[in-house]
Structure 1
Amino acid sequence: MIRACGDERSRESPAPAEAQMQAGAEGSGRVNRCCWKCSVMQLKKFFWGVAVVLGVCSSWSGSTQLAKLTFKKFDAPFTLTWFATNWNFLFFPLYYLGHVFKSAEKQSPKQRYRECCRFFGDNGLTLKVFFTKAAPFGVLWTLTNYLYLHAIKKINTTDVSVLFCCNKAFVFLLSWIVLRDRFMGVRIVAAIFAIAGIVMMTYADGFHSHSVIGIALVVGSASTSALYKVLFKLLLGSAKFGEAALFLSVLAVFNVLFVTCIPVILYFTKVEYWSSFDVIPWGNLCGFSILLLTFNILLNFGIAITYPTLISLGIVLSVPVNAVVDHYMSEIVFNSVRVIAIVIIGLGFLLLLLPEEWDVWVIKLLTRLKVRKKEEIPEGNGDIVSGLPNKSRRTRPSMSSFAH
């Protein structure tokens, strides 16, 4: 009976070695499953990133080209800016639809609105908060888009799109000065590249007044865009998706209430005048607004499904797209100075995409490579040294046999 019980126990509970082997197999299986899940998630994120990059590139370059086409029939950049900004009101409704379809705990529009209003403070979106925290950003938003569109009238879309990429360098400089962000030598180099590219782009057209004004307008647009981003981080901090959607919709409300009078004044003073409303190309205006809205949605909410660096790459890729379209649609001359300026600004933009700890990663990679080389060299020497005695051991018996 004792042996039988012992046999049953041995069958029920495996030996320590077998238990360790089973635990190791289960642990390795869990690790493999986790690695597989992580790799699948990263792969999905990468493919979503490719889709977002294509969306950002096509929407940004398409809106730029459509604005250029619109000005041939409707020469009113500020009115176009006002019309497109009104579409920002759709941000919060679109976000709420996504919340309804995705979130497990569904809230009513009023509840979601109140929760997102906490971003503005404990009292929510009051009249004082509206004028102190929303109105300045509404002015900067309007200036950024108006200067960009007005520049499209003066110079070609390729120069406009590549010069606007300098806003990332301006963001770094302002963040370093105002927000006391970490100093990075590579980003200073990128800012120098951006400034050098602006000068070379101006030189490519021979410093003509028409091109100089256009370049100044784009640089002004990039500067106001950088100021918008830095002030947002300084005054409001970081915003969640719902809070960002509500904020952009509030900018549309500010645009309707306080900016509507400016297109009306420009119309009656005949600065931006059109003979009748039938002449207005409504298809181009709506198409431009939809593309700009799509671009801003991808730019603000694309980080939920992919990496921010990939989203920024879409802006850079819009430059060659605009260059190809300009090559076939307009009389742009891609001389060596313009090409070098485009490459320098693009390189500066890519340098700004490097993470803050990129130098630490490079140092770690170099140290690992050095350690591997040091480990490989002694192993190779050990094989050579160990090979010599083996040869001597093999030759000695043969010599003794010959002696006999």
Structure 2
Amino acid sequence: HKACGLPCVFFSPGDERSRESPAPAEAQMQAGAEGGGRVSRCCWKCSVTQLKKIFWGVAVVLGVCSSWSGSTQLAKLTFKKFDAPFTLTWFATNWNFLFFPLYYLGHVFKSAEKQSPKQRYRECCQFFGDNGLTLKVFFTKAAPFGVLWTLTNYLYLHAIKKINTTDVSVLFCCNKAFVFLLSWIVLRDRFMGVRIVAAIFAIAGIVMMTYADGFHSHSVIGIALVVGSASMSALYKVLFKLLLGSAKFGEAALFLSVLAVFNVLFVTCIPVILYFTKVEYWSSFDIVPWGNLCGFSILLLTFNILLNFGIAITYPTLISLGIVLSVPVNAVVDHYTSEIVFNSVRVIAIVIIGLGFLLLLLPEEWDVWVIKLLTRLKVRKKEELPEGNGDVTSGLPNKSRRTRPSMSSFAH
């Protein structure tokens, strides 16, 4: 049964006749009952599995939406007391170290064949090559992604200082369009006209968002920062696919933990330099809002966990919808907490970018599915029309002929 992917056995009447020729009718009824029972059980299992996946999908969507919008709003609130976006980026990235330990805990609770942390680490290290995670591999395959990760988060957080969170969250949705364009150019992915349209929508939305605030320098810088963050995010994803390919859950968890190690070893000096040069300066550590910093880091870690590992329990498209839903959540919060003006240009820009994001979620074979659906609908209409005409004419053949006026009477 292809719908549920489980093996189902069907009995045919011809087979039953060859086995028990004296009672063909009973054999057919028994075969039909057995086959129908197995099909129904198979379909029931299939429907339950799909319902579970949809239920977990809704939970993951709500988690992605709340964690992403919550981290954005908390970052905005943090900058009122702690104006240090790069330090906040560095602090939150250090929490990535928890990825592999959290993954190993899940492995211990769920896997039948439990491995020690060292064995699991060595097995996941094969992702980097036959020699594992060597110093050369660390600098050639991990360090560039550490830089892109830091730039993505820093530009995003710095943009929150310049413009409202609604504009930041909706403009960051353009990263999916940038991923498609880079994949089409660099990875030679399949050309899809609908995704080109989505990329055009994203670019048009960026221009309209800039126009909504009257091209002021403050808003233009903020929009440029978000677009730069979305571009770095797209470059990160495309380079990962180009250089490293696809990763399993344990390999992805180890890779993200390695990025935290790179952050501690090589990025720590930058916040220190910014502090002593008073670019990001605070008078004492007592005024640092540690609750906001830890809350932002936990929400960002939760968002990345759901984004990277949510596909194990639900559909990837549902996870992406959580990012889009964060836009109206941020808009509602901004409406009550800031002086944002939702003029017609800004609303149209938000709708265009959101529509472009949704178009990019369409599967590659969406056009084939649409053609098949339209073909089936046409066949059904053709089957229904003859049946309907037959019922009317067969029921009242003479009456319809007698009462129906000729066309010549209308002519005169």
- Identify whether the pair has TM-score above 0.5, normalized to the shorter chain: yes
Task: Mark the CA change 1:400 to 1:79 in structure 2 (over 3 Å): closer, same or farther.
Answer: closer
Q: Distance in 1 between matches of 2:73 and 2:89?
A: 15
Classify the secondary structure of the residue corresponding to 1:32: helix
Q: Quote the Cα distance in structure 2 between the aligned partners of 1:19 and 1:308.
A: 46
Worse-superposed segment, 376-385 or 128-137: 376-385
CA distance in 2, matches of 1:296, 1:304: 14
Q: CA deviation at 1:383?
A: 2.8
Provide the C-alpha distance between the structure 2 equivalents of 1:256 and 1:194, rounded to a whole number of angstroms: 35
The separation in 1 between residues aligned to 2:194 and 2:327, in whole angstroms, is: 23
- What is the rounded CA distance, in whole Å, between the counterparts of 2:16 and 2:207 in structure 1? 87
Q: CA offset at residue 399 of structure 1?
A: 30
Provide the secondary structure at the position in 2 that maps to 1:183.
coil
DSSP 3-state at the match of 1:274: coil
Structure 2 residue matching 1:14: 3-state secondary structure: coil
How far the C-alpha of 1:222 sits from its partner, in A, is 0.1
Relative to structure 1, the CA distance from residue 395 to residue 273 in structure 2 (aligned partners, 3 Å threshold; closer, same or farther) is closer
CA shift, 1:381, in A, is 2.9
SS of aligned partner of 1:278: helix
| C-alpha distance in 2 between matches for 1:4 and 1:184 | 27
Q: 1:397 Cα deviation (Å)?
A: 28
Note the alpha carbon deviations across 1:114-160, whole angstroms, 9 max, x for none: 11111111111111111110000000000000000000000000000
User: Quick one: structure 1 residues 4 and 154, their matched pair in 2 at CA, closer, same or farther if it must change by over 3 Å?
Assistant: closer
Whether the 8 Å CA contact 2:81–2:288 is kept in 1: the answer is yes
| Shift in alpha-carbon separation, 1:230–1:382, aligned structure 2, 3 A | same
In structure 1, what is the Cα distance between the partners aligned to 2:98 and 2:51?
A: 31
* 1:38-69 Cα deviation digits (max 9, x unpaired): 10111111010000000000000000000000
Distance 1:209 1:21, change over 3 A: same
Cα distance change, pair 387–335 in 1 and its aligned pair in 2 (3 A):
same
Q: TM-score, length-normalised on structure 1?
A: 0.93
Moved more, 377-386 or 198-207: 377-386
Distance 2:17 2:45 in 1: 38
On the 8 A contact 2:90/2:267 being kept in 1, the answer is: yes
Structure 1 400/90 Cα, relative in aligned 2: closer, same or farther at 3 Å?
closer
Hey, what's the Cα distance between the residues in 1 that align with 2:57 and 2:104?
23
Q: Does the CA contact (< 8 Å) of 2:16 and 2:27 recur in 1?
A: no
Unaligned runs of 5+ in 2: 6-14
Q: How much does 1:24 deviate?
A: 1.3
Q: Which residue of structure 1 lines up, in the alignment, with residue 226 of structure 2?
A: 218
Q: Please state how far the C-alpha of 1:11 moved relative to its aligned partner.
A: 15
**CA gap 1:120/1:334 in 2 versus in 1, 3 angstroms:** same
Residue 278 of structure 1 pairs with residue 277 of structure 2: no
Secondary structure (helix, strand or coil) at the match of 2:285 reads coil
- Specify the SS of the correspondent of 1:397: coil
Task: Summarize the Cα distance change of 1:12–1:198 in structure 2 as closer, same or farther, 3 Å threshold.
Answer: closer
Q: CA deviation at 1:316?
A: 0.4
Distance 1:249 1:381, change over 3 A: same
**Is the partner of 1:53 in helix, strand or coil?**
helix
CA contact (8 A) 2:16 2:28 kept: no
Deviations 1:236-260 (A, max 9, x none): 1111100000000000000000000
How many Å apart are 1:33 and its aligned residue? 0.5
Count how many residue pairs are aligned between Structure 1 and Structure 2: 402
Q: Give the secondary structure class of the aligned counterpart of 1:334.
A: coil
Q: Pick closer, same or farther for the CA change 1:229–1:190 going to 2, 3 Å.
A: same
- Residues 84, 280 of structure 2: 8 Å contact kept: yes
Rate the CA distance shift 1:384–1:95 in 2: closer, same or farther, 3 A: same
Q: Highest Rg: 1 or 2?
A: 1
Match of 1:32 in 2: 40
Task: Tell whether 2:369 aligns with 1:370.
Answer: no
Deviation, 1:388, is 5.5
> Normalization by structure 2: what TM-score?
0.91
**CA-CA distance at 1:15 after TM superposition:** 2.6
Asked if the contact 2:158/2:225 (under 8 Å) is kept, the reply is yes
Write the distance in 2 (CA, Å) between the matches of 1:78 and 1:5: 49
1:178 and 1:16, CA in 2 relative to 1: closer, same or farther beyond 3 A? Answer: same
In structure 2, relative to structure 1, the CA distance for the partners of 1:372 and 1:166 (3 Å cut) is same
Alpha-carbon distance change, 149 to 382 in structure 1, aligned in 2, over 3 angstroms: same
User: Which residue of the partner structure matches residue 11 of structure 2?
Assistant: none
Give the drift of 1:386.
3.6
CA offset at residue 80 of structure 1? 0.3
Per-residue CA deviations over 1:173-223 (Å, capped at 9, x if unaligned) read 000000111111111110000000000000000000000000000000000
Determine if the alignment matches structure 1 residue 232 to structure 2 residue 240.
yes
> Structure 1 residues 184, 402: closer, same or farther in 2, change over 3 A?
closer
Post-superposition Cα deviations, 1:87-139, rounded to whole Å, max 9, x if no partner, equal 00000000000011011111111111111111111111111111110000000
| Alpha-carbon separation, structure 2, partners of 1:223 and 1:384 | 64
- 1:393 corresponds in structure 2 to 401
**1:261-272 counterparts in 2 under 5 A?**
261-272=269-280
Distance change in 2, residues 1:161/1:397 (3 Å): closer
Whole-angstrom distance in 1 between the partners of 2:146 and 2:4: 83
* Cα distance in structure 2, aligned partners of 1:288 and 1:313: 21
> Conserved in 1, the CA contact under 8 Å of 2:213 and 2:219?
yes
Q: 1:386 to 1:139 in 2, by over 3 A?
A: same
1:13 CA drift (Å): 11
Residues in 2 aligned to 1:171 and 1:14: alpha-carbon distance in whole angstroms: 67
CA separation of 1:192 and 1:10: change in aligned 2, threshold 3 A: closer
Q: State the 1:370 CA deviation.
A: 0.6
Where 1:4 maps in the other structure, the secondary structure is coil
The structure-2 alpha-carbon separation of the partners of 1:403 and 1:307, relative to structure 1 and needing over 3 Å to count, comes to: closer
TM-superposed deviation, 1:293:
0.1
CA–CA separation in structure 2 for the residues paired with 1:401 and 1:148: 76
Percent identity over the alignment is 97
Q: Bigger CA drift: 350-359 or 391-400?
A: 391-400
- Give the Cα separation in 2 of the matches to 1:99 and 1:271: 43
Cα 1:11–1:90, aligned 2, differ >3 Å: closer, same or farther? closer
Say if 1:205 and 1:387 are closer, same or farther in 2 by CA, change over 3 A: same
Query: Is contact 2:100-2:257 (8 Å) kept?
Result: yes
| Cα distance change, pair 268–402 in 1 and its aligned pair in 2 (3 A) | closer
Tell me which residue corresponds to 1:68: 76
In the alignment, the residues of structure 2 paired with residue 403 and residue 345 of structure 1 have an alpha-carbon distance, to the nearest angstrom, of 57
In structure 2, distance between residues paired with 1:332 and 1:402: 65
